[in-house]
Structure formats: structure tokens, C-alpha cells
Amino acid sequence: MSWQQWVSAQLGEVRAANRWRELTLFNANLMISFASNDYLGLSKHPVVLQAAIDALHRDGAGATASRLVVGTRAVHAELEHAIAQWQHTDRALVLPSGYQANVAAMTVLGAADATIFSDELNHASIIDGCRLAKARCVVYRHSDMQHLRELLQSAPGRKLVVSDIVFSMDGDVAPLHELAQLCAEHDALLVLDEAHAVLQSPERLSCETLRIGTLSKTLGSQGGWIAGAADVIDLLINRARSFIFTTALAPASAAAALAALKIVISDEGERLRAHLRRLVAVLEPNHSSPVIPFVLGDETSALRAAAHLHDCGFQVPAIRPPSVAAGTSRLRIALSAEHQLEDVHRLRGLLMHIRQEWAA
Ligand SMILES: Cc1ncc(COP(=O)(O)O)c(C=O)c1O
């Protein structure tokens, strides 16, 4: 089979499975978007923008090489210090993306004599890190602490448990205290991905913990980070291929993230989170994150619902396999402090209409 035939057969498979995806033009002006992860609306905050502009003029458009080769800019060090303080850890390391941060942590800590225990709904970047790691990987049922306990009991050697704090497609929160207790009992390192944990304040847990996050969601910039014990950060700097063999995080992205982080921990950040909590309560009382799934089942229904909302001026992405399990295709609603209460009430009305009309 030629390459051309193989590629068109592959494309045929994607289409036949009703999983065809294509890139559409970003249009911020005509639509109200519930697609972005800019949870506090900081990507366009004037202070954040100015910090990025100043860094562009000071440090240039790109970092120009890996940090081990070209050196660390002052803004990288300042951001790492601020992240470590925010997360109550000794040190932090920033990388060009959250994806690379998860790959770095899993590949370096997941050495051949270790076992990684990973929640079945963890983000793809954790899964890919596990695939690249030499460790044995064991998947436990979603947030099922009894299952995790049984698996931990029967595993020899060093153990690492990894979980999203807020799961990216369901918006539910991992049982952090139970996870920490199990890890303490079994001498396991707990690795937590806080990418969507905008409404959870970083807290100290009762076990050894490594924290991973992204600069691209709550902080509205671009890049990723790992925060933990000083020795672990040194090991990552020396061993993590997704840190060593890539150009460093752009200084302007680091500066924007640093300015955003200062807002997050200020009174203004508290006000933004309070507004976001009010918006979440409109769609889903007692939900603890701005990610709200509206499950429709099959791919066609999810696509139809997204198209209907699009016609009404709302951008709400349809999420289909392989991002979610077959039969759980959905709309993924991401709320942001930028939204107005009226927008969310209107969306709620449209969603109720979809449920009633389509169920009939
Ligand atoms: C839970 C989680 N971890 C990691 C990432 C990757 O972060 P980044 O977009 O910075 O690569 C994402 C999303 O993109 C995510 O949802």
C-alpha cells in the first residue's frame, strides 16, 4: 500500500467513525465563547498584557535556546519562585507547556523499578507521560479509592499515584485527602495536576506531593510548571528530556503568567473567583469547577447540539471519543469570570430546551 493510499484509508476510518475534526477560524467578536479555559479572563487583562509587552522589548520574542544552554532569564526565576510560594513547595520549574511538564514528571520519576498508579480519566498528557515512562503503569477506576488501595497493596517497589485535581472533561474533583492518606500509608509519591483547579486553593497534604500545572488556563498565558522538593526539581533539570531538549518558555509568556499569578493571589483574584462561583451555580449548583459537562451520548447528538448553540451565538464545543468514552459524547461548557450572569442564564435556557425537545 502506498503512503497516499494509507493516509486516505486512515482518513476514511476517521470519517466512518463520525469522528472527523477540522480547524475552524477563531472568532471572538460574533460569539459568546464557552470553549476557552481562560477561567479568570486574565489572558486579556491590561496588567498581564503590559507585562508581556515589556518582556518582549526587554528579552525578545523567544527564549532562543534551552535554559541549560542559553541561561535562565530573570523572569523565569521570578516566576518559579512565585509558583513555589503559591503551591507551598521548596522550588518550581517552568516548561514551555503543561503537556511537557506531565511528560517530564512521569518519565523522570517513572523509572523502571517504580509503579505508576493513574486515574482512568487523567489527562492525555499524563497518559502519554506514562506511556513513555519505563515504570509499570496501573490504571485505577476513576476516583475509586478502594480500587486504588487494593492495587497499592499488591505492588512492590516505589509507588507513584497520579491524578488530575479537576478532571478536564467532567469537571469533578479528585478526593485529595483520601488520595493523600493512601499515599502516606503506602509511602507513595502523590503527583497532582492542577490545570483546571481554579476554584481550589493549593493546600498542604499529609503525604509527599509533586504538583504540576499549566500557565495556559487560570493564568491566561502559555507554558507549564512542576513544583516540589528541591532535589526533585534538580533531578528534573538534569533528566527531563521534555525540559532539556526544547527551547525555554518564551520570556513574554513567563512575564504574563507572573503578572496573572499576582492577580490570582490578590483581592481582585478573590473577586473574580467569587463571580465565577456564582456563574457555576447557575448551571450546576454544588459543582466545584467551571468545567460543566452536558452529556448527550452519541457523537451526532453532541455535534447537533453544538451546531444549534452556534446558530444562537454560543460557542460550546462538542467533545467526542477519543477525548471521552464512547457513548458519552457531550458539550463541554467552560465558564469564565469574563462571562456575564445573563449570558449564562441564556445558555441554561437553551440547554434546557435541548434536553426537553430532544428527549421528546
Ligand atoms: C489536566 C490537564 N493537564 C495538562 C494539560 C496540558 O497543558 P498545556 O495546554 O499547557 O499543554 C491540560 C490541557 O491542555 C489539561 O487539561
pLDDT range class, residue 360, cuts 50, 70, 90: low
Q: What is the pLDDT of residues 29-47, one digit of tens each?
A: 778 999 999 999 999 999 9
Residue range 263-318, pLDDT digits in tens: 999 999 999 999 999 999 999 999 999 999 999 999 999 999 999 999 999 999 99
Catalytic residue among 36, 43, 118, 168: 168
Say whether pLDDT at 359 is over 70: no
Give the distance (Å) from ligand 1 centre to CA of residue 214. 6
Which atom, in ligand 1's list, is nearest to the CA of 102? 4
Helix intervals (H) in 160-298? 176-185, 230-239, 241-244, 251-264, 267-283
Give me ligand 1 centre to Cα 355, in Å.
30
The one-letter amino acid code at 134 reads K
Ligand 1 pocket test: which of 38, 125, 169, 324 has the largest number of ligand atoms within 8 Å of its C-beta? 125
Alpha-carbon distance 67 to 159, whole Å? 30
Amino acid at 124: A
Q: Please give the pLDDT value at position 27.
A: 74
Pocket of ligand 1 (CB under 6 A): 97-99, 102, 123, 125, 164, 168, 193, 195-196, 214, 216, 224
Position in ligand 1 atom list of the atom nearest CA 100: 11
Q: Residue with C-alpha cell 518519565?
A: 107
- Closest residue (by CA) to atom 10 of ligand 1? 98
Percent of residues in the chain assigned helix, strand, coil, to nearest 5: 45, 15, 40
Instruction: For residue range 207-265, list pLDDT tens digits in order.
Output: 999 999 999 999 999 999 999 999 999 999 999 999 999 999 999 999 999 999 999 99
Residue 92: is its pLDDT beyond 80?
A: yes
Check whether the bond before 202 is cis (ω within 30° of 0): no
DSSP state letter for 313: T
pLDDT tier for residue 26 given thresholds of 50, 70 and 90: confident
Catalytic residue among 45, 76, 123, 196: 196
> Is the pLDDT assigned to residue 108 strictly greater than 70?
yes
Query: Could you give the CA distance from residue 333 to residue 134 in angstroms, rounded to a whole number?
Result: 36
Q: Is 168 a catalytic residue?
A: yes
pTM over 0.75: yes
Q: Which of 76, 159, 217, 287 is catalytic?
A: 217
Residues 319-342: tens digit of each pLDDT = 999 889 999 999 999 999 999 999
Termini Cα distance of the chain: 48
